[in-house]
């Protein structure tokens, strides 16, 4: 398939020849691949580091294509924090830019956290990249971020590690809060059906079963075959869950069709691959996880326990 990447190549070349090395007088500039990782990096970096993002909040990280402003920002960047494990297929263009001035950090791969295997779709058998959906996974990301930044800013290492420790404690409290919000949901209704199967880690952490119309990391979305499979799954499932869900960064078309077919209500949005804008319900990682718990609580019957 033809892809018009010529201008990207041109900009990459310009970036490569003009990248300036970091020195004591140059502030450390880092960039995160997507908004959730940006938030976690900022939590550790505070005001010590300038933190930018490649895929702004509200956009689909899987299907992004580098923009001219992205390439210009990368030109000024020293460290790129990206998730890896196939989340960002467009990272291959950033890899083409990497040299001794531009360090790439594959956060999920470096994180000390047990990966899940993708169970369906084109990437079946590979590790699922959505580790941040479990606060314990997010804590493992915090460690990678703190170690990387401390290496670059050894004089600030104590401050960075102290912030990381604070973030880790807050993540434990968050995990408990999410657990409590989900408590009333009956075991028979703990099924999370979404467009992309991005809730595997969340499901493992909080005792749910997660299914998606398509698998994980898809650059294309939802074939007729995938829809038929989900439709069949719902027809066979007894009892059926009391709701279906849509995500903030995917088209609702498949879940809408399934909701019409089954008569089940469609709830959401759930946030998984992106934060909301600053004035939305998921402006940071903590708000995102609490918002998702609230949506599930209301849609799956947690409210009945009150």
Residues found near Zn ion in the complex (CB under 5 A): 196, 198, 273
| CB of 134 or CB of 273, closer to Zn ion | 273
| CB of 198 or CB of 301, closer to Zn ion | 198
Q: How far is the CB of 236 from Zn ion (least distance, A)?
A: 26
Q: How far is the CB of 67 from Zn ion (least distance, A)?
A: 20
Place of tokens 């979305």: 221
Q: How far is the CB of 254 from Zn ion (least distance, A)?
A: 15
| CB of 145 or CB of 197, closer to Zn ion | 197
| CB of 210 or CB of 258, closer to Zn ion | 210
Q: How far is the CB of 13 from Zn ion (least distance, A)?
A: 31
| CB of 88 or CB of 196, closer to Zn ion | 196
Q: How far is the CB of 73 from Zn ion (least distance, A)?
A: 23
3-state SS record for the chain: CCCCCHHHHHHHHHHHHHCCCCCCCCCCEEEEEEHHHHHHHHHHHCCCCEEEEEECCCCCCCCCCCCHHHHHHHHCCCEEEECCCCCCCCHHHHHCCCECCEEEEEHHHHCCCCCCECCCCCCCCCECCCHHHCHHHHHHHHHHHHHHHHHHCHHHHHHHHHHHHHHHHHHHHHHHHHHHHHCCCCHHHCEEEEEECCCHHHHHHHCCEEEEEECCCCCCCCCHHHHHHHHHHHHHCCCCCCCEEEECCCCCHHHHHHHHHHCCCEEEEECCCCCCCCCCCCCCHHHHHHHHHHHHHHHCCHHHHC
Q: How far is the CB of 134 from Zn ion (least distance, A)?
A: 14
d(CA 217, CA 289): 21
| CB of 38 or CB of 273, closer to Zn ion | 273
Q: How far is the CB of 284 from Zn ion (least distance, A)?
A: 18
C-alpha dihedral sign at 116, 121, 124, 127: negative
Q: How far is the CB of 12 from Zn ion (least distance, A)?
A: 26
Q: Are 40 and 145 in contact (CB under 8 A)?
A: yes
| CB of 39 or CB of 273, closer to Zn ion | 273
Burial of 68 (0-12, 13-18, 19+ CB in 10 A): exposed
| CB of 38 or CB of 75, closer to Zn ion | 38
């Amino acid at each position: 398939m033809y892809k018009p990447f010529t201008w990207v190549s041109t900009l990459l070349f310009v970036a490569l020849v003009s990248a300036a090395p970091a020195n004591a007088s140059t502030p450390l500039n880092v960039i995160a691949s997507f908004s959730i990782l940006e938030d976690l990096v900022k939590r550790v970096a505070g005001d010590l580091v300038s933190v930018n993002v490649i895929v702004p909040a509200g956009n689909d990280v899987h299907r992004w294509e580098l923009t001219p402003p992205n390439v210009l920002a990368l030109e000024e960047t020293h460290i790129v924090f990206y998730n890896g494990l196939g989340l960002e297929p467009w990272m291959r263009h950033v890899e083409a830019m990497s040299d001794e001035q531009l360090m790439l950090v594959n956060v999920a791969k470096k994180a000390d956290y047990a990966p899940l295997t993708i169970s369906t779709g084109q990437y079946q058998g590979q590790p699922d990249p959505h580790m941040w959906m479990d606060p314990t996974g997010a804590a493992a990301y915090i460690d990678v971020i703190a170690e990387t930044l401390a290496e670059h800013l050894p004089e600030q290492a104590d401050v960075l590690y102290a912030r990381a420790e604070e973030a880790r404690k807050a993540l434990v409290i968050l995990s408990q809060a999410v657990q409590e919000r989900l408590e009333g949901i009956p075991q028979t209704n703990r099924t999370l059906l979404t467009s992309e199967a991005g809730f595997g880690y969340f499901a493992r952490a909080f005792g749910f079963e997660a299914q998606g119309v398509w698998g994980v990391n898809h650059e294309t979305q939802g074939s007729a075959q995938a829809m038929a499979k989900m439709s069949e799954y719902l027809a066979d499932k007894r009892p059926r869950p009391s709701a279906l869900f849509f995500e903030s960064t995917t088209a609702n078309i498949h879940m809408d069709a399934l909701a019409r077919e089954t008569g089940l209500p469609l709830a959401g949005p759930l946030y998984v691959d992106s934060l909301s804008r600053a004035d939305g319900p998921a402006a940071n990682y903590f708000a995102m996880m609490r918002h998702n718990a609230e949506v599930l609580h209301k849609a799956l019957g947690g409210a009945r326990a009150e």
